[in-house]
Structure 1
C-alpha cells in the first residue's frame, strides 16, 4: 500500500498553486473588489454570481449553496478525484516532487483509476495522430483535404486515424503497460468471444477533450463504403466520458466564450473546426446527443449568464431534422438568461460546407443572419399546417400560441402575437387572446387550447367576447391606458393631428384594442359638436364597447388627469397621445431593423430595399412628430 503524502508537501503544493488560475479553467471570474473575484457557481445552477474566490487566502466560497474550501477541495469536487490523486496532479502541474511517509511513493494502483484512464486516452490520441501521417491513411487525408483542412489544422485539433484491423491500438496500449480491465474501461475497445478488439477501425478520429484539455473520449467518422457501422461512432459512456456533459471544442473556445459572451452551437466536429478557422472561436458541438440541461450548465458558467448580456447562437440545418433540433433547443431556452438565436444558411449548407464553398467571410457572416430562437420555433411549427384553410390556421394557432406564451421577455409577447396574426391571416385580438390563454395554462396543457374562432359572417351574435382586464401595474400598458383616459375624458382637447395619431395606433392589450376601436368608430360617426359634449360622449362609448369592458371604461372616465389648469390639461392630452404614437413608431422601427439585419442584401435585394425605404419613411414621420 502506498504511503501518505507528507503534510509539509501538501501545504507547499497548496501555497504554490494559484487557485484563481485553476478555477478559471471551469468558471469565468470577474473582479469583485480588491483581491476578490466572483462568477457563477459550478456546484449549483444559479442566475446571479454568488461564487467568490480569494487568491490571497487560497480559498473559495459560494454564498448560494455554501460550498467552500481550498484549491484541492475544488478539484476533488469537480473532477471526482481522491485527495491523493488531486495533490499529485497539482504537484505535477507545478513540477514539485512529493514525499511519502515511510519513503513509499504511489504504485500503479495508487495513481488512481481515473488518472490511468486519462493516460491511456493520451497515449491513444498520440497513436491516432501518428497514424494519420502514414500512407495507410490516404483516405482520411483525402477526406480532410476535400473539406479544406490542412495537415497543420489536423495537428492543431489532434485529428487522427484508426487503421483497419482488429487490434492495432489494443497491442499498442498493452505494450505501454495497460491491462485488459483498464483497457475495457476506456471505452476504446469492445469485448467478443476471443477477447477485446479495437472499437475504432478504418475511421477518421476526433479527440474529445474535457474543459481542462485532457482527452476523455473519441468521435470516429466512417471513411470506407464497406464499413457497416454508423456514420459517426463515439466513445460509449465511461467513467471519463458522459456525452450529456461534453461539448466538443470547449477547451479551445472557453476563453473566447467568456471574453465575447457568445457561444455558437454547431452540429459536428468539422463544423467546430471550420468555425474556429474562419474566425468564430466561440463554436462548440454536442457529441452525438441533443443540446441539453447539462450542456447549458457548462455554457452558462463561461458566459457569465447573469442577465447582463450574452448570446447563444444555434446553427441548425434548414431541413426537418434541423427544425426538430431547434424545437428541442427551445424547450431548454428558459434556462438561459442570455438571448438565444438560430442562424440557418439559406442553401442548407453546414458551416464546413459553407467555408469550403464561399470562404471564411461567409462563415462569419452567417451569424449576421441569426434570428431569435422563438421566432424560428414559431415558423418551423407553422410549416406543419396548411395555412390556406381555416382549419389549418386554427391548428397552427393552437400549436404556436404556447410558443409565444413561453417567450421570457413578456414585453415581446404582444409584438409577436401581432406578427403571428399576420403570418396566419387571423385577427390580432384572437391571436393575443390565444396567447394569453396559453400563458395561463399549466405547463404541458397549453397545447390543448382550442381557439374559439369562425368566419365573421357565421359567428353567433349572442356570444360575447371574453377579455382579461389589463394589469394596472404593467408599465408597458401604462401609455395605452393614459391615452385612453384622455380620449374618454377630454376628447374635445385633441386636434385633428392627435386624433389621426390615436386612430393609427395599435394597442398591445386586447381590452385596450377593443376600447380603441370603439372610440375610433364613435369619433368617426360623430361631429365635432357631439365630441364636445362629455356626458353624451362617454355614454356613446359605453354603449359601443363589449359589456364586459363597460366597467373598465367607467374607470377610465373617473381617474383624475395630472393637470391643475386648462393649459396644462391641453398639453398633457396632446403629449400623451403623441407619446403613444411615438412608441409605436419606435417599435415598428425596431422590428424593421431586426428584419433588415436578417435579410441578405445580395440574395434578396428588393426586400432589403423595401425595408430600408420603410425605415426612412418612419424616421421622417418620427422627426416630424418631434418637430410638432
Structure 2
C-alpha cells in the first residue's frame, strides 16, 4: 500500500521513505478525494523545495481548494501561489477575504483553472496571481495570463514568498500586501511585451512594440481594454486613438485568421484620453462601447502625441 501510494519506493528488497525528512501534506481533488502527497524539505534539507509522491496528479489539482471549498463558494477570493505552505499562509492572513491555493510548483494548467471554477465564481470574485519578479516568475505570470485574462497580480518582494512574509512580518503585513499591491495581470504581461523593445526612441521599434501589444489588449475582457490602451500609449509616446486603432485591427485580424468571431469587441472611447501622465483611468472602470472613427487613419499610424 505504501508503495502504491507513492509514499515509499522499493530499493532492492527494502521499502524506503520517498519523502524522507519532509513535512508531508495531502493533495486532494476538489471533492476531497486523495490525489497524492507532497513534501516540503526542512530548512536544512536538500533537493527540491517541494517533492510530490510518484503518480500524484499535482498538475490537475490545487492544494487548498478542497480544504476551503466553503469559503470560496461564499465569495472569498482565490490567491494562486506556488507552494502549499504559501497557500496556508495566505488563508491564515486572509481574514476570510483571501484563500490560498497552490499549483505545487507546476505552471497553472487548464485543469487547475477548471477545478477552481467548479468551486467558486471566477467571474465574480476574480483571482489573484502571486509571482516572483525574476525571469521564471515572469514566465509563470504570462502562462497564468493565458488561463485567467481577467486576473489580478501581486509581485512578491525579492526572495520572499507568502509563508516567509507571514513568519517574519506577521499576518497583517501579508494581508496589506494582498490589499494594496494588486494590479491587473494584464499590466504585467503588457509591460513584459514592451520590455522586448528597448529602443523605443526609434519609430521602427515603436511600430514593432505596438504590433506585439495590440493582440494582447484585443484579447482582454472589455472592462480592461481602456486602461491598457492608455498605458501603452503613454509608454510609446503615442495618442491613445492610435493605439486603439491598432487594437481594433488586431481583433479583425484574429477574426479573419480564425474564420469566426471569437469574442465581441467594441472599440474604446478614447476621446480625451491622450497619453498624458496621470490620464490612465483607474482599474475596474469599464470601457465605453462607442466606436471611434478609424477608417480615415492607417491602423498603425505612429503619429506622436501632441
TM-score range, shorter chain: 0.7 to 0.9
Q: Which residue of 2 aligns with 1:503?
A: none
Say which of 208, 215, 218 aligns to 1:402.
215
2-structure distance, mates of 1:475, 1:509: 5
Q: Which residue of 1 aligns with 2:167?
A: 356
SS in 1 for 2:3: helix
1:289 aligns with 2:118: no
2-structure distance, mates of 1:379, 1:222: 35
2-structure distance, mates of 1:327, 1:384: 14
Q: Which residue of 2 aligns with 1:419?
A: 231
Contact 1:202 1:224 in 2 (8 A): no
- Root-mean-square deviation over aligned CA pairs: 3.4
Say which of 234, 257, 261 aligns to 2:52.
234
Q: Which residue of 2 aligns with 1:328?
A: 143
1:279 aligns with 2:90: no
Rg comparison, structure with higher value? 1
Aligned counterparts, 1:110-189, within 5 A: 182-189=1-8
Change (3 A) 1:416 1:211: closer
2-structure distance, mates of 1:396, 1:475: 20
SS in 2 for 1:290: coil
**TM-score normalized by structure 1?**
0.39
**TM-score normalized by structure 2?**
0.75
Instruction: State the Cα distance separating 1:209 from its structure 2 match.
Output: 3.0
1:264 aligns with 2:82: no
Instruction: State the Cα distance separating 1:280 from its structure 2 match.
Output: 4.7
What are the superposed Cα offsets for residues 146-171 of structure 1, whole Å, 9 maximum, x if unpaired?
xxxxxxxxxxxxxxxxxxxxxxxxxx
1-structure distance, mates of 2:36, 2:232: 45
Q: Which residue of 2 aligns with 1:467?
A: none
Q: Which residue of 1 aligns with 2:278?
A: none
SS in 2 for 1:314: strand
Instruction: State the Cα distance separating 1:356 from its structure 2 match.
Output: 2.7
What are the superposed Cα offsets for residues 155-214 of structure 1, whole Å, 9 maximum, x if unpaired?
xxxxxxxxxxxxxxxxxxxxxxxxxxx433212222444454321222232332333445
Contact 2:50 2:104 in 1 (8 A): no
Count of aligned positions: 272
Instruction: State the Cα distance separating 1:475 from its structure 2 match.
Output: 9.8
Contact 2:267 2:292 in 1 (8 A): no
Q: Which residue of 1 aligns with 2:249?
A: 437
2-structure distance, mates of 1:353, 1:252: 22
Contact 1:261 1:311 in 2 (8 A): no
Contact 1:386 1:393 in 2 (8 A): no
1-structure distance, mates of 2:3, 2:244: 58
What are the superposed Cα offsets for residues 468-492 of structure 1, whole Å, 9 maximum, x if unpaired?
xxx9x96976x98xxxxxxxxxxxx
Contact 2:244 2:267 in 1 (8 A): no
2-structure distance, mates of 1:358, 1:475: 45
2-structure distance, mates of 1:423, 1:327: 20
Q: Which residue of 2 aligns with 1:299?
A: 116
Q: Which residue of 2 aligns with 1:219?
A: 38
1-structure distance, mates of 2:33, 2:266: 51
What are the superposed Cα offsets for residues 541-594 of structure 1, whole Å, 9 maximum, x if unpaired?
xxxxx599xxxxxxxxxxxxxxxxxxxxxxxxxxxxxxxxxxxxxxxxxxxxxx
Change (3 A) 1:547 1:214: closer
1-structure distance, mates of 2:19, 2:160: 28
2-structure distance, mates of 1:428, 1:292: 34
Instruction: State the Cα distance separating 1:258 from its structure 2 match.
Output: 1.0
Say which of 18, 21, 24 aligns to 1:202.
21
Contact 2:89 2:100 in 1 (8 A): no
Instruction: State the Cα distance separating 1:398 from its structure 2 match.
Output: 2.7
2-structure distance, mates of 1:414, 1:183: 55
Instruction: State the Cα distance separating 1:268 from its structure 2 match.
Output: 1.1
Instruction: State the Cα distance separating 1:420 from its structure 2 match.
Output: 0.7
Contact 1:189 1:199 in 2 (8 A): yes
Greater fraction helix: 1
Q: Which residue of 2 aligns with 1:344?
A: 155
Greater fraction strand: 2
